[in-house]
C-alpha cells in the first residue's frame, strides 16, 4: 500500500499540552492507531509517533521503551476491549448453544471491524520477536480458555476439544480479516463463525456418546 510520509502531521504543529501520565498514554495510543491507519504499521516508530502526537521523543520512550513495547500495548488494548465486549454480551445472552456461539462470533468480528484493518497489521508485527509472540500467544490462550468454559455445558462430559477450539480461532481470524477487507460482509462473517462453533461443539458432543 502506498502512503506518503513527507507531510508533517498537523498535531506536531500544535502547541504542546502538559497532560497527566495516564491521559498522555491514552493520547499516544489513539495517535498510534491513526498512524497505522494512515501510513501502515511499518511507519510506526517511536520517533514518528512523537512527531504525530506533538511531543518530544523522551515522552514516548518513557511510556513504551521500545517499538516492541508500543506494539504490545496496542495489542493489549485491543484484547482488553474485545474481552469487555464479549463478557458483557455473554451476560446478556440466552442460555442456548446458538445464543452463546452467536455472542462469541459477533464479539470477535465486531471488535476487529471496530479497530479496522490496523489490527491484522499489528498482529502480524507481533510475530517479529519471541517476546511479542509470547504476548500474543498468552492472550489467544486466554480467549480459547474463555470459549471452552462458555461452551463446556453443551459439549458433554468430555468438554470441548482443544483442536476444535484452535480451529475455531483460526476461522475467526480469517473471517474477521475477510470482513475487514470487504471480501465478505460482517453479517456473513458472524453467521459462518457462529455455525462453525455450533458444529464444533455438536461434533464433539456426538463423538462422546
Q: Do residue 84 and residue 25 come from a single domain?
A: no
Residue 104 lies in a domain: yes
Q: Do residue 28 and residue 81 come from a single domain?
A: no
Where does residue 186 rank: exposed (0-12), middle (13-18), buried (19+ CB within 10 A)? middle
Residue 6 lies in a domain: no
Specify the pLDDT at position 81.
Answer: 86
C-alpha distances in Å from residue 209, one per residue of 66, 97, 101: 52, 18, 22
Domain residues for the domain of 77 are: 71-207
C-alpha distances in Å from residue 11, one per residue of 14, 45, 49, 54, 92: 5, 16, 10, 5, 41
Residue 90 lies in a domain: yes
pLDDT digits (tens, 9 = 90+) for 156-181: 877 899 999 999 999 999 999 899 88
pLDDT band at 200 (very low <50, low <70, confident <90, very high): very high
Q: Do residue 53 and residue 94 come from a single domain?
A: no
Q: Do residue 98 and residue 169 come from a single domain?
A: yes
Number of domains in the chain: 2
The proportion of the chain whose per-residue pLDDT surpasses 70, expressed as a percent, equals 87
Domain termination residue (choose one: 28, 45, 65): 65
Instruction: Show Cβ contacts of residue 118 under 8 Å, excluding neighbours closer than 6 positions.
Output: 33, 36, 37, 41
pLDDT band at 13 (very low <50, low <70, confident <90, very high): very low
- Listed in sequence order, the DSSP H helices in 57-117 are 57-64, 67-92, 97-115
Question: Is 3's pLDDT higher than 60?
Answer: no
Q: Do residue 147 and residue 196 come from a single domain?
A: yes
pLDDT band at 32 (very low <50, low <70, confident <90, very high): very high
Amino acid at each position: 500500500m502506498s502512503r506518503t510520509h513527507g507531510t508533517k502531521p498537523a498535531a506536531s504543529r500544535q502547541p504542546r499540552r502538559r497532560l497527566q501520565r495516564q491521559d498522555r498514554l491514552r493520547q499516544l495510543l489513539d495517535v498510534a492507531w491513526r498512524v497505522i491507519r494512515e501510513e501502515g504499521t511499518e511507519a510506526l516508530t517511536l520517533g514518528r509517533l512523537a512527531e504525530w502526537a506533538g511531543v518530544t521523543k523522551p515522552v514516548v520512550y518513557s511510556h513504551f521503551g521500545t517499538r516492541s513495547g508500543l506494539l504490545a500495548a496496542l495489542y493489549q488494548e485491543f484484547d482488553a476491549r474485545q474481552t469487555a465486549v464479549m463478557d458483557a454480551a455473554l451476560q446478556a445472552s440466552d442460555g442456548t448453544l446458538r445464543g452463546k456461539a452467536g455472542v462469541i462470533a459477533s464479539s470477535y468480528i465486531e471488535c476487529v471491524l471496530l479497530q479496522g484493518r490496523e489490527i491484522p497489521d499489528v498482529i502480524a508485527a507481533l510475530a517479529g520477536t519471541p517476546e511479542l509472540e509470547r504476548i500474543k500467544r498468552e492472550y489467544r490462550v486466554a480467549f480459547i480458555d474463555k470459549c471452552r468454559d462458555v461452551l463446556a455445558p453443551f459439549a458433554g462430559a468430555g468438554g470441548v476439544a482443544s483442536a476444535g477450539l484452535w480451529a475455531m480461532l483460526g476461522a475467526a481470524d480469517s473471517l474477521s480479516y475477510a470482513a475487514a477487507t470487504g471480501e465478505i460482509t460482517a453479517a456473513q462473517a458472524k453467521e459462518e463463525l457462529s455455525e462453525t462453533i455450533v458444529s464444533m461443539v455438536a461434533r464433539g458432543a456426538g463423538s462422546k456418546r
